[in-house]
Structures are given as C-alpha cells and as structure tokens.
Chains A and B, each alone.
Chain A
Amino acid sequence: MTTAAAAGVNARSIRRIALSHKLSRWDVRFSPYLYISPFFVVFALVGLFPLLYTAWVSVHDWNLIGGQGDFVGLENFSTVLAQPYFWTSLRNTFSIFLLSSIPQVLVAISIAAVLDFNLRGKTFWRMGVLLPYVVAPVAVALIFNDLFGDKYGLINSLLTDVGLGPVRWHVDVLPSHIAIATMVNFRWTGYNALIFLAAMQAVPRDYYEAALIDGASRFRTFRSITVPLLRPIIIFVIITSTIGGLQIFDEARMFDQAGQGGANRQWQTLTLYIYELGWNQRNFGRASAVAWLLFLIIIVIAILNFVITRRIAGASERRLRQKGIS
C-alpha cells in the first residue's frame, strides 16, 4: 500500500520532471525564435505585406480614391515603360545616385581616417560630423534653396561677383543634379564617416606600428591596412547608400515649389515619378508598377555592388595575406 502509493507519487513526479524537461528543451529550442519574432511580425506587417499588395495593385486599374478597378495584367508596366518620363527619371535617379554615393563614401572614409588620429576634443569633432544628419532633410532643402537660387541665390551672386556667369540650377540637368547631390551628401557623409570610424577603431594598432617601423607612410598604411580590413563595412555602407540613393525623394521634391522635378523633368527621380502618378494623376496602378520596377532595379544594383566590392576588397585582402600581415 505504502509502496504502491510511493510508486504512484514517484511516477507522477517523474512525469512532472519529464514534462519540465520537455518544456525547458522547447524553451531552449524555440524561445530564441520567439524573441526575434517581433521584428519579423512588424516586418511582415509594414514591409512584406505592402510589397505584395503593391504587386496586386500594379496589375489593376486603380484610382487613389475610387480604389480597385478592372484587372489589366501587365498593361500598367508596358504603359509606364513606354513613357519618356519614366526613362528621364531613371536617368536622373542614377545620375543623382552616382553624384551622391561615390563622393560620399570617399569623403566619409577620409574624414573617418582623420578622426581616427589622436585629435584634441575628439567628441566635439565626432559630434560635429554627425550634426547635419540630425537636421531634417526638408530643413536642409530650405537652406540649400537659398544657396542654389537661380536669380537671387548666394552661390550665383558669388559667381557673378568673381566674373563667372550664373549657373541655372533649376533649368539645366547636370547643375540641378549636383545641387541635389550636395544636399544628400551634406546629410549623409558624416553619418557614414562615423560608421567607418567605428570599424577603424577595431583595427588592431599593432599592424600600424609594424608598418610604421617598416617605414610605411600614413597614406600607405591607410591604403594597405585600413581599407582592406574595412571590407565588410565598406560593403555595408555601399549597399545602404545604394538603397537610399536610388530612393532620393525629399531633396528633389523640395528643390522647387512644384515638387515635380522641374518643367522638363530635369531632376525628377523615380520616387518623385511614383508620387506624380499616384497623387497627381491618381493612377495607383501605374504608380505601383513603377514602384515594383524600382524595387527590382534596387535588388539588381545591390547584388551587383556586393559582387564588385567583394571582388575588389577580396583582391586587396589576398595581397595583404601574401605579405603576411593578416
């Protein structure tokens, strides 16, 4: 009797232990997924769903207010691909992207290299570099519009004073791109510089000391040690600035009062074109088609960037290894 009872209790507690084992095994196995799930839940809601829904909209006639119309297949895509403004805005997007991203990465990495020296008042300089990032892009645009005015702008006044003709910032294609790229660079260079700086500080100082003892110049150490070891960060910065650069909107929209990228679409980017189709012409179907084309373009460019930068950086790293540094 007592033994039977004891056996019963025992069996129960064994079962309980077994259950608690099982639970804690599940805990170990599944909890991590639960912990990171909020990000994916939110992403599915605000990222994946709009993406798929946009694809759905893009194959329909769709008015901003009226909503869904007839299914039209790929007609929206073929219509926008036949519009000259689509190709103009594609050209503008790439031109502004190249004019902003390339100088941005080069200047950012140089600024980071300078900040990496032992400067007096380190924090002051680092915060100073980040300051433009804190300013809202619209505010940046307002300030730069005073500089880039065609008739009464500061830059043109200076140019006229030194005897050069005024530049028609809002009329000619390239000047307008340069002006917009300047705003973008003003905002993002410091931010990227700080990312580079963080990576540079992780580079072991021994390498530099060894190289300096061997008689390498500052520039040489930068080129042969810093840049190759920054490879993953360079790839990261280039990919993020590609995504950002192909989606430039605020600066271009704020560049004049109409916000459509100029009378001849001199500086209309693809995102502005989407806005014009969707909110000005109320044609959500076509706007969604362009949005999807932009999405595909970004993916292609990002992959291309990844491959190219990996190859370039990989080559210099191999060189490094041959010299026995890494």
Chain B
Amino acid sequence: MKRIPRPTLTATIVGAASFALILTGCAAGTGSTAAKDEKVKLTVATFNEFGYDDLFAEYEAANPNVTITHKKAATSNEARDNLTTRLAAGSGLSDVEAIEVDWLPELLQYSDQFVDLTSDDVKGRWLDWKAKAATDADGHLIAYGTDIGPEGVCYRSDLFAAAGLPTDRAEVAKLLGTSWDSYYAAGKTFEAAGTNVPWFDSAGATWQGVVNQMPNAYEKKDGTIIATENPDVKKAYTSVLAASSTLSAHLGQWSDDWTASFQNNGFATMLCPGWMLGVISGDAKGVTGWDIADTFPGGGGNWGGSYLTVPKQSKHQEAAQKLAAWLTAPEQQLKAFASKGTFPSQVDALASDKLLGATNEFFNNAPTGQILANRAAAVDVTPFKGTHYFAINDAMQQALTRVEDGTMTPDESWAQWTTDVKALG
C-alpha cells in the first residue's frame, strides 16, 4: 500500500495558514504606534533643501522626550505625489508635512484633513500675503510659512561688459527699469551689440514672472475659469512671445539643455527668486560674472516658497504643531537661511541684521540679504490660485513651448491652449 505520510497534509495546512497570517499581518502592521507614555516619535517630511538637519538635533536636545525622524524627498514633485496619494489613502502621512505654495489651492479644498494651526503665539509672525495664502475660507490657518521666493534679476556682468552695457549692480537696475517694456528694451539694446547671446532663458520662465503679478489670471475668486477670455492673459501672452522671438534662448527651464547652458554662455539674464541663487551657483560652477540686480520688471514678484502642515492623520498633533511652530520661528529660519539660503518669510527675520548683512560670494559679493529683503517688500499682489491653477498654467507653459520650438504659430498654440483649458472642466 502506498502511504503518504500524514505530516505532509498537516504541513500543508500549517503552511497555508501561516501564509495567510503573514498576509493579514502585513495589513495590520502599519497601525498603532501611539503609546500613552510621554516619549514621542515625530516624523517630518520635507523635500529639496529646507536647511533643517542641524535644527532637529537642537530640538531633540531641548526636548529629550521627542525623537525626530526626517524623510527627505529629492524633488517637490515626488513629495507632492506622496502627499496627495497618502491623503487619498487616509494613512501614511508624516506628523509634519512640508508643502509648496502652489499646492495650497488644491489642499485648501480639503482643509479639514489638516490641523487648524491658528494660535496667538504665531499671530503676525509672517508677511501678510504669506499667511493669507494658507488660510481657508473659514479663517483656519492650515500651514506655517517657512521660506519665500522674492525675485530679482540675475545677470552676467561679463557679457554685459562685452556688449558695452553697464556692469555695476545699481546701474544695471536702472537700465533694466521697473517695467516689462524696459526689461525687453534693455534686451534689444543688448542684442543690438551683436554678442550673439540671448537675453533670457525661456518664454516660460518669463511668463512665470508676468502671471504671478496678476491677481486673477485664470480664475475668479469664486472659482469660475476666466483664463481664455481674460484680456490681460492674452495681452501678456502676445507680449512675452513677441519678446521671446528675438530675446529668448528657447530653453525649457530645468531641461538638460538649460542646465548645460550655464556652462555655455546660454543667456545673459534670468528672473531669479532667492532659492535660484543656489541653483545658479551650482550649475554655473567655475563661471565668473554672475551678479544680481535689485529690481524686478512690473513691480515685485514672488516665486515659490514652502510651508509646514500637520495632517489630521498624525497621532501626535499637539507635539507636531509645537515642532512646526518652533521650526518656523524667526530664529530657526535665520539658521536655515545661513545653512542653505532659504529666504525667511517671517517679519522679524526680515529685519534681522544677520539676514540684511548676508552677502553671496558667487554673485560678486552682492548683499543678497538686503536685495532680497527689498524684493520681498516690493511684492504687492497675491495672485489668486484656484483649484485649476496648476493644470491651466501647465497647459500655458506648453503653449509657450510650442511656439518657442516652432511647432506652432502663436495663434494656433493659443487655440490649442483654449481647447486644453476647456477639457479640464
């Protein structure tokens, strides 16, 4: 008689059962880490460079019951995907999540997913427009501001000299003027000198500067899309493209060609927020002549800047809020500025000598602290960014690119942009 030993069957059942256990174990394992004792483990998610690495150690030393784990995403897009996916899933977010200003319109729709951080301790801490952008319709502040991106104009003084233009910071500021027309006119003068170097990097980057000065470019306050009928948008579109047809290097910002162009005299000027200084000095390593002028076409301009939020998913909301408040206090942001150059958004920090005295060696020892503080003070428009801002602006960037690379005429590209915007609804 052929006998199959009994253990085989038992082993099978045990095996299958333990497999099932492993599966359920996986599902249940992510839950409860909240303990009742005072020891608190906080996770903080940031991206790019917030300049917080030393600050965490400092906070842990001052609060021995707190341990901080730092999760750093390489790019803000990665962080955005992570945030929205986990927000949708309802779990997995860190106790403190860093966000960028452009995500706010979408996140404010779901402000109930975030802890209301309003508190008397932080009242008036930030520039008005910085705090306003993170406040929802009911007046809840869902995010503490970290840095801002006040924009100046960066330029290559060596190329300016070659074209017979002034090179001194103050004189360049006068030459560039305060309107877009004067900025383009200076470009024409530069071009006429025949150095064969384009004036600015791309229509898209220039557009970013222009559109951030319109209070309601694409949407009305109630969220109605007016992008395609707005005469200001059409006018800006025409004028940016008219300028870029002769003045632009036609490089997509952040493209490999754009990065490489810093080593190849790719262009003479670019609109640059404070955080861009680090990008330029990195990409243009070894190139001398970069400088920054204390002016910006069309009034002030802000590009980017970040915030810290505390998601409702956090198990230690109070401790997380305390940490976020501490990190975004003027003293700490000044330390972050010293280590990574993130420009503070706090009123007290903007008046600090530490900030105003800061200079940047790569930019010909320019007093970047003072210049950017002036630029921040010049910002007078808070552009309204509704739920479709991101997608509409993205489509606009592509519309500009289509004209720059010669795929379409400005009119054709405008028509396609109109279709794209209509398809969003």
Write the residues of chain A forming the contact surface with B, with a CB cutoff of 8 angstroms. Answer: 20, 23-24, 26-28, 31, 34-35, 37-38, 41, 45, 64-67, 83-85, 145-146, 149-153, 168, 170-171, 256-258, 260, 262-264, 279-282
- B394 interfacial by beta-carbon distance below 8 Å: yes
Interface residues of B in 1-48 (CB under 8 A from A): 3-4, 6, 8-9, 12, 16, 19, 23
Q: Is B8 touching A281 in the complex (CB atoms < 8 A)? A: no
Q: Is B401 touching A67 in the complex (CB atoms < 8 A)? A: no
- Chain B at the A interface: mostly helix, strand, loop or mixed? helix
Supposing A149-B257, A151-B260, A263-B405 touch, asked if A27 and B81 sit within 8 A by C-beta, the answer is no
Q: Is B12 touching A280 in the complex (CB atoms < 8 A)? A: no
Number of interface residues of B (CB under 8 A): 44
Q: Is B408 touching A264 in the complex (CB atoms < 8 A)? A: yes
Q: Is B19 touching A35 in the complex (CB atoms < 8 A)? A: no
Q: Is A171 touching B406 in the complex (CB atoms < 8 A)? A: yes
- B264 interfacial by beta-carbon distance below 8 Å: yes
CA distance A44 to B104 in the complex (A): 37
Q: Is B106 touching A171 in the complex (CB atoms < 8 A)? A: no
Interface residues of B in 65-87 (CB under 8 A from A): 81, 84-85, 87
Q: Is A279 touching B81 in the complex (CB atoms < 8 A)? A: yes
Q: Digit string of B296-327 for contact with A (CB within 8 Å is 1, else 0)? A: 00000000000000000000000000000000
What distance in Å separates the Cβ of A20 from its nearest Cβ neighbour in chain B? 7
Contact among A41, A152, A280 with B260 in the assembled complex (CB-CB below 8 Å): A152
Q: Is A66 touching B399 in the complex (CB atoms < 8 A)? A: no
Q: Is B12 touching A168 in the complex (CB atoms < 8 A)? A: no
- B129 interfacial by beta-carbon distance below 8 Å: no
Between A and B, 14 residue pairs with Cβ closer than 8 Å are: A24-B3, A24-B6, A31-B8, A37-B16, A45-B23, A168-B405, A171-B407, A257-B253, A257-B255, A260-B394, A263-B405, A264-B398, A280-B391, A281-B391
Contact among A34, A84, A145 with B12 in the assembled complex (CB-CB below 8 Å): A34
CA distance A171 to B401 in the complex (A): 10
**Neighbouring B residues of A35 by C-beta, 8 Å:** 12
**Neighbouring A residues of B390 by C-beta, 8 Å:** 280
- B256 interfacial by beta-carbon distance below 8 Å: yes
Q: Is B408 touching A65 in the complex (CB atoms < 8 A)? A: no
Write the residues of chain B forming the contact surface with A, with a CB cutoff of 8 angstroms. Answer: 3-4, 6, 8-9, 12, 16, 19, 23, 81, 84-85, 87-88, 106, 109-110, 113, 251-257, 260-261, 264, 390-391, 394, 397-399, 401-402, 405-408, 416, 419, 423-424
**Neighbouring B residues of A168 by C-beta, 8 Å:** 405
**Neighbouring B residues of A37 by C-beta, 8 Å:** 16
Closest chain A residue to B403, Cβ basis: A263
Q: Is B252 touching A83 in the complex (CB atoms < 8 A)? A: no
CA distance A37 to B17 in the complex (A): 12
Contact among A26, A45, A66, A170 with B109 in the assembled complex (CB-CB below 8 Å): A66
Which of the listed residues A24, A27, A151, A171 has the most CB atoms from chain B within 10 Å of its own CB?
Answer: A151
Q: Is B252 touching A65 in the complex (CB atoms < 8 A)? A: no
CA distance A171 to B405 in the complex (A): 7
The 7 closest A-B pairs by CB, nearest first: A263-B401, A152-B260, A263-B398, A257-B254, A171-B405, A24-B4, A151-B257
Q: Is A65 touching B6 in the complex (CB atoms < 8 A)? A: no
Q: Is B84 touching A263 in the complex (CB atoms < 8 A)? A: no
Which of the listed residues A34, A37, A263, A280 has the most CB atoms from chain B within 10 Å of its own CB?
Answer: A263
CA distance A177 to B214 in the complex (A): 38
What distance in Å separates the Cβ of A239 from its nearest Cβ neighbour in chain B? 30
**Neighbouring A residues of B391 by C-beta, 8 Å:** 280-281
Supposing A149-B260, A260-B398, A279-B81 touch, asked if A27 and B106 sit within 8 A by C-beta, the answer is no
Supposing A24-B3, A150-B257 touch, asked if A64 and B88 sit within 8 A by C-beta, the answer is yes
Which of the listed residues A20, A257, A280 has the most CB atoms from chain B within 10 Å of its own CB?
Answer: A257
Closest chain B residue to A30, Cβ basis: B12
Supposing A65-B84, A171-B407 touch, asked if A149 and B256 sit within 8 A by C-beta, the answer is yes
Supposing A23-B9, A65-B106, A263-B402 touch, asked if A279 and B84 sit within 8 A by C-beta, the answer is yes
CA distance A151 to B257 in the complex (A): 6
What distance in Å separates the Cβ of B197 from its nearest Cβ neighbour in chain A? 14
**Neighbouring B residues of A153 by C-beta, 8 Å:** 256-257
